[in-house]
């Protein structure tokens, strides 16, 4: 039934000829407990029962009428089991909720401290929380509309709010949803403009995503300590002003920014199902007068549905953001996999083993090998600061630069200095990295530069160790950094272990780090095993040590064994 049809019906049932936009005065109630002007309002009762039956998961609804202290069936819609008058009578004194099972909902129809009926609904299966919430909203709306049949716009309000219930469930887009809320509420009470503010508890601010009546959507952010909307958000109470500028809580800055003059104002808190304020509905300048208590009462039934719709839209936004993040992480992981060599090269007189164990998040750990000739190998281990796509892209840039520089190798110092300048120019000091670059020559000599990286270690055949620390600071922080080359002569039986801090900083549940000492001991114990086996055993040991621990990071380990 349309709002116009409902208005004509109520006017007709009252014995008054309908006037467009007007509901005539109701007839006087002849029987205590009956609604004024609704003695023959079967059409309105039919509409309420039909609306209840149309809710999601409902198979049938029944409306009971209370007259002279006795309940009788007023209207039924859909498929229902036989009526149970005893159960309906219990609903008169109990709050709305479950009936005789989870598929049954029942509640008293009341308004203005007068109980005049019972609404019950049944489903084929257990009713969802959303459906129960919709039925409670319908119960309150029907009660207000029926008890206020003498109000000029009672049926129009019922129609508008039912329309709101449908529209609020029609979108998960937050901007569109807010516009729907403003359109409906402004039309319902005749406001010129409106804004929905959402509460940002972390920043203690309210912010708007859209505004009705503005030439273009504008975002407005205000601390909750300012303005009427901020006051409502903090106190959880409504505010109604006839002259906004006379109230010291009013903040005129928004008017000045938007070129508008606020006169009257109505501001309501939006509560979630736990009773917490999640937003504020602010309506400005009542057309033809000022906002009344009646306007405030007409908007309150919208609050639950608005809060539910906003919560659904917020969860949808978070889901979309999570999906975007997951796509970004997968892209970064794909980039990272493409940068890392699938297998280490073969080099006469050496065994090389390497492994990369990514964490759940994408990281910036990187290794590479460049064969300069059959007997000369350039090896790199690096760790870009941070995680995600940005770090993976820095890695891609690093790989391209290193390979280009290696093709025209002048010195290790020149390579690292050039990489430093490249990173500094491309990321403007927003990203930096630690890096170890080693050049293995045909005489088993290892020339290297350690640019702020965790130091690789040489475990000699006799068990002694040498840490490879020579070099300089991390790459990408300051220009014109001078790096110093280190050198170590290797011999048969020596093992070189390079790694990233995901190995040494892996922690057990109490927070103890695996550390360099454990790494050296693990390699020393296994130095007679093949290089690939050493790598696998070390990773397994680190995994066992850190299982259940607080720290999870990418892990790279490279083992070079001299035959």
pLDDT in tens, 59-103: 999 999 887 788 888 889 999 999 999 999 998 888 898 888 889
pLDDT for position 29? 31
Lowest mean pLDDT among 31-35, 189-193, 205-209: 31-35
pLDDT for position 447? 96
pLDDT for position 75? 87
Lowest mean pLDDT among 2-11, 267-276, 334-343: 2-11
Name the segment(s) of the chain with CATH classification 3.60.40.10. Answer: 340-562
Residue entry with tokens 């407990």: 33
User: Who's near 406: CB < 8 A, 6+ residues apart?
Assistant: 370, 372, 378, 415
Determine contact, residues 469/486, Cβ cutoff 8 Å.
yes
Q: How confident is the model at residue 458 (pLDDT cuts 50, 70, 90)?
A: very high
pLDDT for position 14? 34
Whether the pLDDT of residue 320 is over 50: the answer is: yes
Give dist(CA 243, CA 61) in Å, integer: 46
Summarize the confidence of residues 133-137 as an average pLDDT: 89
Whether the pLDDT of residue 34 is over 60: the answer is: no
158 in helix, strand or coil? helix
Q: Retrieve residue 25's tokens.
A: 């005065």
Give dist(CA 501, CA 557) in Å, integer: 10
Summarize the confidence of residues 420-434 as an average pLDDT: 77
Whether the pLDDT of residue 226 is over 90: the answer is: no
Give dist(CA 329, CA 137) in Å, integer: 43
Q: How confident is the model at residue 428 (pLDDT cuts 50, 70, 90)?
A: low
pLDDT for position 22? 29
Summarize the confidence of residues 148-152 as an average pLDDT: 47
Helix or strand holding residue 271 (H, E): strand 265-271
pLDDT for position 327? 76
State the CATH class of domain 340-562. Answer: alpha beta
Summarize the confidence of residues 366-377 as an average pLDDT: 89
pLDDT for position 322? 76
pLDDT for position 40? 38
427 vs 548, which has greater pLDDT? 548
pLDDT for position 317? 67
Give dist(CA 61, CA 40) in Å, integer: 20
pLDDT for position 305? 64
8 vs 380, which has greater pLDDT? 380
Whether the pLDDT of residue 536 is over 90: the answer is: yes
pTM over 0.75: no
Percent of the chain with pLDDT over 70: 76
pLDDT for position 6? 34
222 vs 541, which has greater pLDDT? 541
Summarize the confidence of residues 225-235 as an average pLDDT: 91
Summarize the confidence of residues 219-233 as an average pLDDT: 87
Half-sphere exposure of 358 (CA within 13 A, CB side): 18
Whether the pLDDT of residue 516 is over 90: the answer is: yes
Helix or strand holding residue 396 (H, E): helix 389-407
pLDDT for position 273? 75
pLDDT for position 26? 31
387 vs 319, which has greater pLDDT? 319
Give dist(CA 35, CA 65) in Å, integer: 10
Summarize the confidence of residues 387-409 as an average pLDDT: 76
Name the segment(s) of the chain with CATH classification 3.30.450.40. Answer: 1-168, 170-326
Length of the chain: 563
pLDDT for position 153? 47
Give dist(CA 202, CA 205) in Å, integer: 8
Q: How confident is the model at residue 560 (pLDDT cuts 50, 70, 90)?
A: very high
40 vs 518, which has greater pLDDT? 518
CATH superfamily label, 1-168: GAF domain (3.30.450.40)
Angle at 362 between CA 359 and CA 368, to 5 degrees: 90
Averaged pLDDT of the chain:
79
| CATH 3.40.630.30 is right for the domain spanning 170-326 | no
50 vs 297, which has greater pLDDT? 50
User: Who's near 292: CB < 8 A, 6+ residues apart?
Assistant: none
208 vs 267, which has greater pLDDT? 267
Determine contact, residues 26/109, Cβ cutoff 8 Å.
no
Lowest mean pLDDT among 104-113, 290-299, 335-344: 335-344
Whether the pLDDT of residue 422 is over 70: the answer is: yes
pLDDT for position 121? 94
CA 20 to chain centre: 47
- Tell me the C-alpha to C-alpha distance, in Å, between residue 415 and each of 407, 435, 444, 477: 11, 11, 21, 16
Closest CA to 502 of 538, 449, 448: 538
């Amino acid at each position: 039934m349309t709002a116009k049809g409902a208005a004509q019906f109520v006017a007709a049932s009252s014995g008054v000829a309908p006037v467009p936009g007007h509901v005539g005065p109701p007839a006087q109630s002849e029987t205590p407990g009956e609604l004024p002007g609704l003695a023959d309002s079967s059409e309105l009762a039919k509409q309420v029962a039909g609306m209840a039956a149309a809710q999601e998961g409902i198979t049938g609804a029944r409306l009971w009428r209370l007259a002279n202290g006795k309940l009788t069936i007023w209207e039924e819609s859909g498929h229902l089991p036989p009526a149970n008058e005893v159960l309906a009578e219990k609903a008169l004194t109990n709050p709305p909720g479950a009936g005789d099972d989870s598929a049954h909902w029942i509640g008293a129809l009341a308004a203005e401290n007068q109980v005049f009926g019972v609404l019950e609904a049944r489903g084929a299966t257990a009713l969802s929380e959303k459906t129960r919430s919709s039925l409670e909203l319908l119960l309150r709306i029907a009660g207000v509309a029926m008890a206020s049949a003498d109000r000029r716009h009672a049926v129009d309000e019922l129609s508008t709010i039912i329309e709101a219930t449908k529209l609020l469930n029609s979108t998960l887009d937050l901007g569109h949803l807010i516009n729907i809320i403003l359109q409906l509420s402004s039309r319902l009470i005749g406001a010129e403009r409106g804004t929905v503010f959402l509460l940002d508890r972390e920043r203690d601010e309210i912010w708007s995503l859209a505004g009705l009546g503005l030439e273009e959507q504008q975002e407005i952010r205000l601390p909750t300590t300012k303005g009427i909307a901020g006051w409502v958000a903090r106190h959880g109470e409504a505010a109604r002003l006839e002259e906004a500028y006379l109230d010291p809580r009013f903040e005129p800055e928004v008017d000045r920014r938007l070129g508008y003059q606020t006169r009257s104002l109505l501001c309501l808190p939006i509560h979630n199902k736990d009773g917490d304020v999640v937003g504020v509905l602010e309506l400005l300048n009542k057309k033809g007068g000022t906002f009344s208590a009646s306007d405030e009462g007409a908007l309150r039934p919208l609050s639950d549905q608005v809060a539910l719709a906003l919560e659904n839209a917020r969860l949808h936004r978070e889901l979309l953001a999570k999906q975007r993040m997951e796509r970004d992480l997968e892209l970064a992981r794909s980039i990272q996999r493409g940068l890392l060599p699938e297998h280490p090269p073969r080099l006469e007189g050496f065994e090389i083993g390497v492994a990369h164990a990514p964490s759940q998040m994408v990281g910036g750990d990187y290794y590479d090998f460049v064969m300069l000739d059959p007997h000369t190998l350039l090896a790199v281990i690096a760790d870009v600061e941070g995680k995600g796509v940005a770090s993976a892209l820095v890695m891609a840039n690093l790989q391209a630069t290193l390979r280009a520089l290696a093709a025209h190798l002048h010195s290790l110092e020149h390579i690292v200095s050039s990489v430093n300048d490249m990173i500094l120019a491309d990321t403007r000091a927003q990203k930096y990295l630690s890096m170890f670059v080693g050049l293995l020559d045909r005489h088993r000599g290892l020339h290297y530069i350690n640019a702020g990286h965790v130091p690789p270690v040489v475990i000699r055949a006799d068990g002694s160790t040498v840490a490879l620390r020579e070099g300089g600071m991390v790459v990408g922080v300051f220009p014109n950094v001078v790096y110093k080359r280190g050198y170590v002569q290797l011999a048969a039986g020596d093992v070189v272990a390079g790694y990233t801090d995901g190995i040494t900083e892996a922690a057990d549940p109490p927070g103890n780090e695996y550390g360099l000492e454990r790494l050296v001991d693990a390699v020393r114990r296994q130095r007679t095993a093949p290089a690939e086996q050493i790598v696998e055993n070390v990773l397994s040991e680190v995994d066992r040590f850190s299982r259940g621990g607080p720290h999870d990071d990418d892990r790279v380990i490279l083992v070079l064994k001299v035959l």
